[in-house]
Amino acid sequence: MPEVSRRSVLIGAAIIPVTAIRSAAAPTVPPANALSPEQLRTLDAFVDRLIPKDENGPGASECGAANYIDRVLADNNAAEKPSFLQGLAATDAYAQSTHGSPFADLSAEARDAILTDMDSGKATGFTPNSRTFFNRVRRLTLEGTFSDPFYGGNKNFAGWDLIGYPGPRLAVAPEDQKMHVAIKPMHQSAWGGSNGH
Amino acid sequence: MAINLKPVDVAVVGLGAAGGVAVLPLAKAGLKVAGIEAGTWMDPHKQYHADEVFNNVRGGVTSVQKANREIPTVRENASSPTRPRGAIHPMMNAIGGTSIHYWASAWRLKPWDFRTRSEVEKRYGKSAIPAGSTLEDWPVTYDELEPFYDTIEHEVGVSGNAGNIQGKLDPKGNVYEGPRQREYPMPALRGTEYTEHMMATAKQLGWKPFHGPAAINSQTYNGRPGCVYHGYCGRGGCHISAKNSTAVSTIPAAMKTKNLTIFDLAQVTRIQTGPDGRASGVTYIRDGKEYFQPASVVLVASYTYENSRLLLLSKSKAYPNGLANNNGMVGKHFLSHWQGSPVFALFPYNINVWYGTPAQTTVVDDFADDNYDHSGLGFIGGTSISLGTEMHPIEAASMNTFGKAPQWGSKWKAFVKENAARWTSSYLQTSTYPYEQNFLDLDPDVKDPLGDPVCRITNANMPNEAKAAAYGQKKTEEWFRAAGAIEVIRGGAGSGGLSTHSYGGTRMGDNKETNVLDKWGLAHEVPNLGVLGGSVMGNSGARNPTLTVQALAWRTAEHIVKNWKSIKT
């Protein structure tokens, strides 16, 4: 992407530095260390079925949604890490009892069957119930797939491209608010040039 | 033992939307003002981001302060248990307060809102007043407040199109508004193809749509630039100061006089009272130390919950049930604005509401206030319908699937791929009234880290508001369908819980038995104590409160200036 951070643009009568949209002091992102490799594998197999890779492009796994979740559980969402790990363990236990293998080793069809049971609240072994955990993973998967790539997901802006979100931009022209068209994407993180690539 | 500070003329508790404007007329008049604020200056460079996770998921702008340690508890009625407390208080502490991250819709209330009880009784009879409502006419009329609305619109900076200048109607603006003395200082924020399409549709329906007013610059104003519509306004701060929070408008102007001293990161814990029953100053904690700031006049300008809580906590010999509460009215006439009753619409093409701001709107007031005949409808008041812009990607992907797709998997993915840029929501605000059974008090069980009880909200949803909101939803559905939406669905029915639009608790009114404050916003029982904020209002109107809060705050401050000698002694 072009390096634009030293330019200024003229809006009305005021000069606004392009850097104003970005942070001067982006917080350092902690290492992705909330989950063990096995837990991460289970989670990745989970998000992969929520938003699968298919003819419409990369899915949540390719977007790095599991990586996003791994990071936030180590950081901002640390308080929910214990319940989240419980949910992951319960997912594997349910896979073992219904299909005879860990969740991540199962076919797409088998994983879908398990997630359907969880979504409907039928799957057993969850606290308080499987639906609560399913919905939480779904929500975090949406965050990981469609958030600013600064947070470790939405790799190559594939999430934003999927839904047609054109990306944060410094100033929005009237033509960027037109109907009927697809707005030209910016592929730029609000936190600076190297994020998302 | 508290450290005693040098006395000041006026101590203002809270430098948000209300306190942040009140300091300007006080300081300009030469009074020495202490602005005591629990938060501090926000740093636009470090804290204002075009980032949904930072602003909207984590509450990065809003959730780091004192308010979060004292989130009120909420219960339906006096015999129901309190619900689990939310994780994030909707309000924040900072110099500029919630005016930093609000949507900046900047409405005047209607003349009717100030006199609802008498107007309703006149038009529909006494029985039309909702059962159990403690509604009173305001002790101030729209005409009396008009000059202060005008002052705020110009001092803070509001963009909009006038609909009624001294009785002359202009369909470019809101023809239902009360007469104003002149135009807004800036034209309305620019329209988009979507807002213009909804405008044209509303006109075809015979309605009178217009662009809503906003405390956001539509062009350069007072040295600050016009809005760049980047789409991260709600719950975010403005990185170019085009949103006119008090932190960039009235507070810096007051500081220029050298009469305003700001004490930041200072948490006021009590308002003190002298042996004569007058307020003597405030006690606050800063950095673990306790200070006493003596003042001739105290203005309480924290949020609605904290205004009542602070008075109730400030007990003394003269006020054993809390300051200015010998009549038992502190915490009464509480109301939480009826919102959260959206209608979702899906269009067969991209409407692209990604960018903009929630205040970049087309609004209809045809079903608000008393702008239509309510005979036979079974409710009073009404709903304003606001269609704005600003959609974030996680929010967009979390869209309602209108029964057309599952919630995950390839079919869901195909659905959001096609439709994420094709849907929108509406913002409905319904006139809300005070009722006997809805009030604020101190929670008997839950305490803040200092050991003081938090505020407890007792608030039941009342049928008058539910009916008025449903009527507004029906009209919104009509509007979307006429505009070509292929799917239209109602969100929740709406409710009033913990909210950025909370009112009452220290209502103003001429009747000393039923109100805490007089018509100037000063306490009936304590002549040198004033209260600013939505807590002084006894009903909401069908629109955002801030401009009215600010006009009333300026008016109270100006009254104090004009009557300084009699008020300070």
How far apart are alpha carbons B487 and B306 in whole angstroms?
42
A54 touches chain B (CB under 8 A): yes
Q: Which residues contact B28 (CB under 8 A, 6 or more apart)?
A: B254, B257, B259
- What is the DSSP annotation of B351-411? ---SSB-TTS-EEE-TTSTTSS--TTTS--S-EEEEE-----HHHHHT---TTSS-SSSHH
Residue of A24, A142, A183 lying closest to B354 (CB–CB):
A183
Residues B377-396: tens digit of each pLDDT: 999 999 999 999 999 999 99
How far apart are alpha carbons B100 and B246 in whole angstroms?
8
Residue A34 has pLDDT above 60, yes or no: yes
Inside any domain, residue B298? yes
**Residue-level pLDDT at A7:** 30
Q: Are A147 and B52 inside 8 Å of each other by CB?
A: yes
ipTM: 0.93
What mean pLDDT do residues B440-445 have? 97
A35 touches chain B (CB under 8 A): no
Inside any domain, residue B82? no
> Which residues lie across from B457 on neighbouring strands?
B74, B440
Distance of CA A50 to the CA centre of its chain: 11
Residues B244-291: tens digit of each pLDDT: 999 999 999 999 999 999 999 999 999 999 999 999 999 999 999 999
Residue of A145, A146, A179 lying closest to B194 (CB–CB):
A179
A12 touches chain B (CB under 8 A): yes
What tokens appear for B232 in the block?
């991260």
- Closest to B240 in 3D by CA, of A87, A172, A181, A194: A172
Residue A162 has pLDDT above 80, yes or no: yes
**Residue-level pLDDT at B91:** 87
Q: Which residues contact A2 (CB under 8 A, 6 or more apart)?
A: none
- Domain tally, chain B: 1
**Residue-level pLDDT at A197:** 55
Chain A: give the shortest CA distance to residue B255, in Å.
23
Chain A residues in contact with B389 (beta carbon < 8 A):
177
Inside any domain, residue B393? yes
Q: What is the CATH number of the domain that holds B254?
A: 3.50.50.60
Residue of A14, A25, A51 lying closest to B46 (CB–CB):
A25
Inside any domain, residue B63? no
Inside any domain, residue B84? no
Comparing alpha-carbon positions, the chain B residue that sits nearest to A54 is B410
Q: Are A179 and B414 inside 8 Å of each other by CB?
A: no
Please state the pTM of the whole predicted model: 0.94
**Residue-level pLDDT at A194:** 67
Chain B residues in contact with A76 (beta carbon < 8 A):
58
DSSP secondary structure letter of residue A103: G
Determine contact, residues B143/B111, Cβ cutoff 8 Å: yes
Q: Band of the pLDDT at B475, cuts 50, 70, 90?
A: very high
How far apart are alpha carbons B412 and B401 in whole angstroms?
8
From the number of C-beta atoms within 10 Å of its C-beta (0-12, 13-18, 19+), residue B209 rates as buried
A69 touches chain B (CB under 8 A): no
Chain B: give the shortest CA distance to residue A122, in Å.
17
How far apart are alpha carbons B71 and B65 in whole angstroms?
11
**Residue-level pLDDT at A4:** 31
A190 touches chain B (CB under 8 A): yes
Residue B527 has pLDDT above 90, yes or no: yes
Chain A: give the shortest CA distance to residue B196, in Å.
11
Residue of B349, B354, B408 lying closest to A166 (CB–CB):
B354
* Rounded percentage of chain A residues whose pLDDT exceeds 70: 81
Inside any domain, residue B70? no
Three-state secondary structure call for residue B268:
strand
Domain residues for the domain of B408 are 3-58+90-568
Inside any domain, residue B211? yes
Show the 3-state SS of B312-331: HHCCCCCCCCCCCCCCCCCC
What tokens appear for B176 in the block?
């239902």
Distance of CA A111 to the CA centre of its chain: 20
